[in-house]
Structure 1
Amino acid sequence: MEDKEVFLKIDNRDRLMELSQTIRKELPFSASMHNCLVLHARGYASSQDFYELKAPSNNPVILSRSKGEQDAVTLFCCEAAVGLLMEGLEKTSLIDWTKPFFFLHLPVYMAEGIRALVDRRAGGQGDFQFVDTFLYSKEDDEEDVVCPAGMRVCHLGERGVRQLHAAWQYNKYVDVSKLLSFARHPTNVGVYEAGVGEVHRVELTSLQRAEDEESAVAWVALTFYGTTGMLYTVESHRRRGLARLALRVFSCLQDKQGLVPHAFVEEYNDSSRRLFSQLPGWRSITQTLIVGVKISLH
């Protein structure tokens, strides 16, 4: 029987890396898909399956779907290939329109096509949200990263990862064991109390991992979708610049790893908008679309 599926599953890590480099030229719109491809190509993450459209095109059309129960679909193509993508989404069996799910981190130029698709396939039951996209450029960040006395910056140990999971507003979607596995790779930064010490420059090339029993006081990490997220400072240590410190270290580390540091900020989140607007190297550059199909985003 002829296979009528229009998307081909990618099982080769080299192909994932090749695609990440191909779409990097489409920044800032490709940032999330680029990072996600890199994380999976390197074996850091295994939370998604990736597919590319079989139709011949000079520009790749990529779909990724979270494993297990389908609850998130991410898409990328350049603006010139949006028509091909929409045709593929009409025909694919990879999306079950009878169940609730999310379209995550879509370029704004897909908005019209996705809205029409949701109207046809899901009876218009789509909650559309546009979020500001902040992008980091190392070229615009020439300041040294300095840690205050009595603190040190490390990758998170096990207790730090468990703290992160407990504080994360979306933790119900991700089992802590998956975060613990993900955290074995350099995809997070934590700030820890140190008994002694002076103000010191953070050495990014020799960042250590905290002991598993140590508690962090601030942290930030990559999500499974390649975005900067889960930023948090424990209440007793707020207003000391520790979130800013964690973000600055994390931004530089991502850049060194060939990732594209970026973050999404909702319209109502004034504190995060102020923080990213004041960070060296960061600026708001576009918007990104998130769609809850048969799911409220609010």
Structure 2
Amino acid sequence: LMEKLGMEEGDPIEHNLVNKAVENAQKKVEGHNFDIRKHLLEYDDVMNKQRSIIYDMRKEVLAGESLRDMAMEMADEVAEDRAVRFAEEKGHPEEWDFPALRDAVFSQFGFRLEIPEGEVQGLTRETLADRIGEGARSAYRKKEEEYGEDPMRYLERMFLLSTIDAQWKDHLLSMDHLKEGIGLRGYAQKDPLKEYQREGFDMFADLVFRMKEEALKRLFHVKVQREEEPAQIARTMPSAARRVNLSRGDISRAGVTTQRHSSKKVWRNEPCPCGSGKKYKKCCGMGT
């Protein structure tokens, strides 16, 4: 076409229709790219808000001298969750699953919930949560009396930090998986961005509660070994159990003394000691 028009290579093509078509195409491409960057920023804004909350939690843990009050507030929240989970609001207290509740409380706080049969009738969700919370506080005070307040303050900080970091890493991976497949919601006539924001909020709420559960479980079940305990265990062990002697030969004398061979060792190419005149390897030593 260019040859028929008599145009040479490198000549500019200038026409109002051509210029307008190129300009419209460029606007569409740039607008499409702008929408992509805008959506990316909107998706990233969800993670930025969650990240700021987690970082504020870490700063609070690092800056606080005593995290006992924070731990007890978490214990009250988890106690309320256990009461709501196992105590049906419309059901009578006699129909509640108390064995499963006791197991759940022991798994979380490390103590057995005891409720007299005469007090079951007047229980409500609120009073049950208060009983669990009081039991958790009592169990925690016993740990402080047993191990000391300073070690418990140190454990509170370490357990909270490690739990926040570990759970946050898992959450980032889950959010990446959600983001990869969220575009398919468009086939169901749903806005992928709104679905991502909604499901991301639900996942973050579960994350925060899991952090509290895991940190409290580690705090209430921790066992601190004192320095004198290994030495005390060694002193209480029988002397025979502490002394182990390895021996060869007579098994009946194992652990008492080491068996020694008094006779001279006979090498394979030496004359056999039986007096046959053959080499040891051809005579008595054939099976060795």
Shorter chain as denominator, the TM-score bin is under 0.3
Of the two structures, which has the highest relative contact order with CA contacts closer than 8 Å and spacing of 6 or more? Answer: 1
Task: Compute the TM-score of the two structures, normalised by the length of structure 1.
Answer: 0.21
Task: Compute the TM-score of the two structures, normalised by the length of structure 2.
Answer: 0.21
Higher helix share: 2
